[in-house]
Amino acid sequence: MTDQSSNQMWGGRFAAGPDAIMEAINASIGFDQRMAAQDIAGSRAHAAMLAATGVISDSDAEAIREGLLTVLSEIQSGEFQFSTALEDIHMNVEARLKEIIGEPAGRLHTGRSRNDQVATDFKLWVRDQLDAAESGLLALIRALLAQAEAGADWVMPGFTHLQTAQPVTWGHHMMAYVEMFGRDLSRVRDARTRMNESPLGAAALAGTSFPIDRHMTAEALGFDRPAANSLDAVSDRDFALEFLSTASICAMHLSRFAEELVIWSSAQFRFVSLSDRFSTGSSIMPQKKNPDAAELIRAKVGRIYGANTGLMMVMKGLPLTYSKDMQEDKEQVFDAADNWMLALAAMEGMVKDMTANRESLAAAAGSGFSTATDLADWLVRVLGLPFRDAHHVTGSLVAMAESKGCDLPDLTLDDMQSVHADITQDVYSVLGVQNSVNSRQSYGGTAPDQVRIQIERWKANL
């Protein structure tokens, strides 16, 4: 078979034949160059430790340190020339280091492997993203607290099945998302604590015979401790999976809130107005103001979920320890991180800028017989009816109001007494929406006093 026919079999995309295909599938520099700063930080810590333990000379360590700083400067300025032939960020950095400082560069890799090197770099990168997520969540929570505080006593409808259920307050609704994003914040912090063990020094899989000090490099890189098992250290990607899992749950919360903002900003609801900064117009309909930022946040969850599932599939069948499959871990995590950070920032911006329409909220709060449960509770509390009987009486009164085209507070006392003779004028004290929300004084309830207690609790926590 000729070279030409071989090339045709491999396809026109790879005119050079199998070698080009292998280089293309094997190289990761196209994406793992994002870890350049982490790679250089790990190498600097490793070189300093090698000198401190007498494995390399102080002069070699100093040359390595200065050379790595030069490489980092070149990368940050955009002068660095990345090579796919050198496969990954680690080899690209080391090759350039050798060009700059010569022989001492060859001593940098003593006592380590690309296996523990990439695990360390990736952990450092994910840790940075967890810190960024924490900052983003804190900013979003503060924006929600500001909305909650401004509208702690503004009435609005609460929904189940997207049907009017009971009146709540705007502040209470905002605080529901504070709780949700607060759990996300807790997961971010938990994940960071759990993953903060250093793989560096685990070498290829079994450790090294050189007298290295893994505690020294762990401390230098901000880890709490070195990972305790070299086999696990190089093959663990739980930290990336936990990052993606945490991102997925948070993205789901962002998507739920985005869905509400899409509904609330519609002409049919008019609960909120989103700022022009986070809306777009229509190319054909001049009256339109579209909540595109919210819709895009709602869509981001698919990419983040997909990354989580994708990495699970990569890892599920791998024996210990390192396999090249793990090269497929980074692009998915990088993409998910980019989209999570963008969605957090966009949601914070929308929440800070949005204006709640208090009048529309109040009008909607009183519709749909939203105080029916308050009426049933009054029948139980004042008349001593069993709740099931009170539920039946209330249902009959709702049907009557519906047939008359009015709401429950608009029924006369005679109307009420035609269903149950013992009902008194006092029943009207619970039928107004403001009375309804004020009565919900149980811990975590929608009463403005309770909402303000939760706001102060969160402000103190933050």
Q: Active-site residue numbers?
A: 161, 282
Q: Give the SS3 label for residue 159.
A: strand
Which DSSP string do the residues of 263-276 spell out, in sequence order? HHTSTTT--EE--G
The token duo for 266 is 């519609």
Q: What distance in Å separates the CA atoms of residue 327 and residue 339, rounded to the nearest whole number? A: 21
Helices 36-52 and 58-77 meet at what angle, rounded to 10? 170
Cis peptide, bond prior to residue 321, ω within 30 of zero: yes
Q: What are phi and psi of 157, to 5 degrees?
A: -75, 140
| Burial category of 234 from C-beta neighbours within 10 Å (exposed 0-12, middle 13-18, buried 19 and up) | buried
Q: What distance in Å separates the CA atoms of residue 370 and residue 451, rounded to the nearest whole number? A: 20
Q: What distance in Å separates the CA atoms of residue 239 and residue 190, rounded to the nearest whole number? A: 11
Q: What distance in Å separates the CA atoms of residue 97 and residue 75, rounded to the nearest whole number? A: 12
